[in-house]
């Protein structure tokens, strides 16, 4: 592990160092002409190609992948080998290298250089929680990325915004440094500097547009891979039900009687932790499943209601590489008629469930969430705006007649920093509210009016079944299962170095242990549970201080405000 860590950090440091050195040389020493810009663009493209070349090697270093031969894979999982063989024969490509990550977090991914040098990896969680048809659909989705050559396509797509960002940075810093090296009376130099600033602004705006377009293309490629899975399995529902388990964590396997028996056994195992209510657990299976033993339509539609109707979902969709699960399932549903199969989950009742829970509109909650989360930033921007108004002498147009001295501006900023400090405290109280109550995964997943800012304080009990990022040995997060489903556990100490230490020393030790977790259920774009406290079956407990660390910025604001008040008293 130590060698892997050293290798990974060394590679990251070399990339950063090389980029910084070459960028400084390109801006400062090269002439401010087209040659210097072209050289910087060529360097950026070279970095992208280098990352493309070594990324598969890095993935092999940082993930614990058990590579197995194709023959062994076919013996263990003949239904999955059948899917691979079919694609290899039809597309005339080389079989991908196949690997397993021994982690119950149900994940699958593929990587490589081309479709003839691909690696396809699934976790034990895919094999454990999904039935054979769902497993085949997941593998078919990943094979879709391989046959579509998404490795190359997405490398090119994401390289374009990086080139635009390089142009923006080069133009800005060249204009800035050139102003120091040119004469004050050099009008031509001034015009060139102004032109470079314009180029920098336009390029930076273009970078953001290009970045958003790149994310859009990435989401389209996911839809294509989903379509490939539907074609290969000839039933889009297989991937839909797999997504319900992977993305929403909703589980139900076996008959109603069998699940109830499992529930009773799990409750007896967890009763010693002292929170889970055995009486409540009797009805959990009924909530999670229908009469056929499948995940209930209500649970799925309520979980999908967040993707479909919560304004936060639209916000996250824009900045995501993957479509939201409900959107993917809707696309898969459109293909069901082609294969003559009925739709498994049509979301026909999702709107009614949403309206029953939160009413017709969630815009008010969304605006409140944004205001609370950005309150210190809003105050800071207002302070800058008011100061700018005073500096540029526009007081005649605004009722700010008292802002006539620098002393008054100092007072304004002093009050502003205190307001920002109280804003941080208010935001923390809103985002880390108390009132923890026992809950389970299915009840949390079906809550529509939650967000990253508006949580549901809860206590859950179950077993840690894997790491938050399956197979990644630096993952500080965990994966949890209770009697109703799966949940991503977000461990945020509040200080990055402590997260790193937790990943190295504690996270692996918790896998397989029965735990009680107190924290905040949040959503956005995937469901997750942020840790406050963890108690283990062995009697150990772990505390997270992310809530407390937020007060550091409040204290800092109060200190700055107090200093400005001191200046206000002392400046004549």
Beta bridge partners of 289: 295
142 in catalytic set: yes
Q: Are 244 and 250 in contact (CB under 8 A)?
A: yes
Instruction: Count CA atoms within 13 Å of residue 522 on its CB side.
Output: 21
Please tell me the distance from the alpha carbon of residue 213 to that of residue 224, in angstroms, as a whole number: 17
Could you tell me which of 285, 301, 554 has the C-alpha nearest to residue 425?
Answer: 554
Please tell me the distance from the alpha carbon of residue 303 to that of residue 300, in angstroms, as a whole number: 5
Residues 6+ apart with CB under 8 A from 210: 160, 161, 164
Q: Six-digit token pair at 567? A: 């200046």
Could you tell me which of 315, 308, 362 has the C-alpha nearest to residue 524?
Answer: 315
Please tell me the distance from the alpha carbon of residue 241 to that of residue 284, in angstroms, as a whole number: 20
Instruction: Count CA atoms within 13 Å of residue 401 on its CB side.
Output: 1
* DSSP state letters, 156-221: HHHHHHHHHHHHHHHHHHHHHHHHHHS-TT-HHHHHHHHHHHHHHHHHHHHHHHHHHHHHHHHHHH
In the set 142, 301, 344, 443, the catalytic residue is 142
Buried b (16+ CB within 10 A) or exposed e, 17-44: eeeeebbeebbeeeebeeebbeebbebb
Judged by DSSP in three states, 44 sits in helix
What separation, in Å, do the N-terminal and C-terminal C-alpha atoms of the chain show? 61
**Under the phi-then-psi rule, with left for phi > 0, alpha for psi from -120 to 50, and beta for the rest, what region is 283?**
alpha
Positions marked catalytic:
142
């Amino acid at each position: 592990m130590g060698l892997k860590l050293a290798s990974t950090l060394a590679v990251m440091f070399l990339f950063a160092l090389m980029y910084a050195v070459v960028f400084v040389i390109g801006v400062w020493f090269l002439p401010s002409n087209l040659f210097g810009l072209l050289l910087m663009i060529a360097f950026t493209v070279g970095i992208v190609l280098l990352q493309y070349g070594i990324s598969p090697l890095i993935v092999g270093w940082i993930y614990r992948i058990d590579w197995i031969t194709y023959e062994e894979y076919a013996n263990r999982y003949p239904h999955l080998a059948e899917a691979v063989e079919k694609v290899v024969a039809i597309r005339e490509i080389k079989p991908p290298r196949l690997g397993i990550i021994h982690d119950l977090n149900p994940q699958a991914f593929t990587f490589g250089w081309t479709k003839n040098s691909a690696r396809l990896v699934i976790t034990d969680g895919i094999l454990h929680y999904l039935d054979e048809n769902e497993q085949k659909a997941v593998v078919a989705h990943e094979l879709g990325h391989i046959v579509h050559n998404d490795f190359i396509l997405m490398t090119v797509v994401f390289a374009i915004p990086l080139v635009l960002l390089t142009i923006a940075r080069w133009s800005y810093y060249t204009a800035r440094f050139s102003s120091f090296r040119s004469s004050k009376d050099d009008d031509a130099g001034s015009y060139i500097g102004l032109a470079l600033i314009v180029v920098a602004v336009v390029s930076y705006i273009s970078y953001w547009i290009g970045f958003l377009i790149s994310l859009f293309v990435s989401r389209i490629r996911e839809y294509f891979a989903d379509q490939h899975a539907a074609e290969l399995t000839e039933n889009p529902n297989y991937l839909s039900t797999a997504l319900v388990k992977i993305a929403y964590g909703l589980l139900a396997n076996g008959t109603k009687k069998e699940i109830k028996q499992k529930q009773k056994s799990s409750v007896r195992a967890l009763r010693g932790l002292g929170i889970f209510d055995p009486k409540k657990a009797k009805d959990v299976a009924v909530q999670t499943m229908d009469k056929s033993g499948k995940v209930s339509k209500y649970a799925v539609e309520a979980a999908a209601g967040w993707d479909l109707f919560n304004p936060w979902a639209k916000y996250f969709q824009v900045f995501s590489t993957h479509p939201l699960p409900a959107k993917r399932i809707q696309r898969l549903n459109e293909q069901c008629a082609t294969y003559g199969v009925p739709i498994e989950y049509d979301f026909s009742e999702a709107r009614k469930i949403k309206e029953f829970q939160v009413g017709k509109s969630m815009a008010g909650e969304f605006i409140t969430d944004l205001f609370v989360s950005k309150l210190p930033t809003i105050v800071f921007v207002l302070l800058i705006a008011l100061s700018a108004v005073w500096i540029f002498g526009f007081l005649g147009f605004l009722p700010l007649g008292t802002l006539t001295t620098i002393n008054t501006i100092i007072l304004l900023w002093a009050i502003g920093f205190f307001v920002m400090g109280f804003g941080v405290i208010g935001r923390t109280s809103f985002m880390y509210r108390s009132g923890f109550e026992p809950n389970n995964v299915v009840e949390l997943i079906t809550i529509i009016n939650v967000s990253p800012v508006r949580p549901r304080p809860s206590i859950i009990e179950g077993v840690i079944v894997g790491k938050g990022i399956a197979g990644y040995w630096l993952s500080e997060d965990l994966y949890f299962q209770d009697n109703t489903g799966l949940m991503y556990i977000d461990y945020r100490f509040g200080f990055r170095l402590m997260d790193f230490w937790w990943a190295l020393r504690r996270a692996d030790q918790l896998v397989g242990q029965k735990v009680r977790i107190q924290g905040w259920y949040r959503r956005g774009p995937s469901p997750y549970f942020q840790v406050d406290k963890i108690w283990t079956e062995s009697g150990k407990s772990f505390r997270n201080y992310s809530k407390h660390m937020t007060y550091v910025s409040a204290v800092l604001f109060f200190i700055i405000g107090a200093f400005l008040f001191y200046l206000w008293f002392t400046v004549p």
